[in-house]
Amino acid sequence: MICQLCNPPLTSVPFATERAGYEAAERLDQLMHGLRLDAADIDVTACPIVVRQSTDCLAIGDAEVVNALRFIRANAGRILQVSDVVQATSLSQCTLHTRFRLAVGRSVGKEINHQGAQYIARLLIATDEPLHAIARKLGYDTDAHLARYFRREMGETPRAYRQRR
């Protein structure tokens, strides 16, 4: 919450403190019931970085490509088409495609897919929402469609991704 209140909002590293709290409570309960425990540490692992405006720097000299990237990132939570990105710039689709690939190293479409998958990954980690609710929120017809998209982009299913994190 503190990171969100700063101007600009600060990038942060969240920790799995809630899970560690439950583990500590479980150990305390065992001690209170007379069980002997090893003096093992409670693991409080760091979760993936939450990138916010304080570190959102795009080191690209082409202002129109930067505009396109910012548009893609700002709208990663909805289904985007390349034509949507083109409308956010003053370039033609062909010119944007050429300059984008030169500056970023991949096509506009691939960047849309990458940012969309990253957005879904953040939702899977940050919330307990079921996949069908996330799919509905993002405009997918079914959770199976979202799962196929996520697996193609991230190399694993949303469920496996969530469990691993």
- Looking at residue 78, its amino acid is R
Q: Is 76 in a helix, a strand, or coil?
A: coil
Give the pLDDT score at 22.
84
Give the pLDDT score at 58.
66
- Cα gap 64→114, rounded to integer Å: 19
Residues 1 and 23 in one domain: yes
β-strand partners of 15: 46
The model's pTM is 0.67
63 Cβ contact partners less than 8 Å away, ≥ 6 residues apart: none
Residues 144 and 92 in one domain: yes
Domain presence at residue 79: yes
Domain presence at residue 28: yes
Residues 73 and 138 in one domain: yes
Residues 48 and 62 in one domain: no
Domain presence at residue 165: no
Give the pLDDT score at 57.
60
β-strand partners of 50: 12
Where in the sequence is the domain holding 113, given as residue range(s)?
Answer: 58-160
Residues 70 and 84 in one domain: yes
pLDDT tens digits, the chain, 165 residues: what are they?
Answer: 777 777 767 778 777 677 778 888 888 888 899 888 777 777 777 666 777 766 666 678 888 999 999 999 999 998 899 999 999 999 999 999 999 999 999 999 999 999 999 999 989 988 889 999 999 998 888 989 999 999 999 999 999 998 887
Give the pLDDT score at 105.
92
The length of the chain is 165
Q: Is 15 in a helix, a strand, or coil?
A: strand
**Token pair in block for residue 132:** 């069908």
Mapping DSSP onto H, E and C, the string for 35-62 reads CCCCCCCCCCCECCCECCHHHCCCCCCC
Give the pLDDT score at 19.
77
Residues 47 and 100 in one domain: no
- Cα gap 15→78, rounded to integer Å: 27
Overall domain count for the chain:
2
Residues 65 and 144 in one domain: yes
Q: Dihedral of the CA atoms 119, 124, 130, 132 (nearest 10)?
A: 30
**Token pair in block for residue 53:** 């405006």
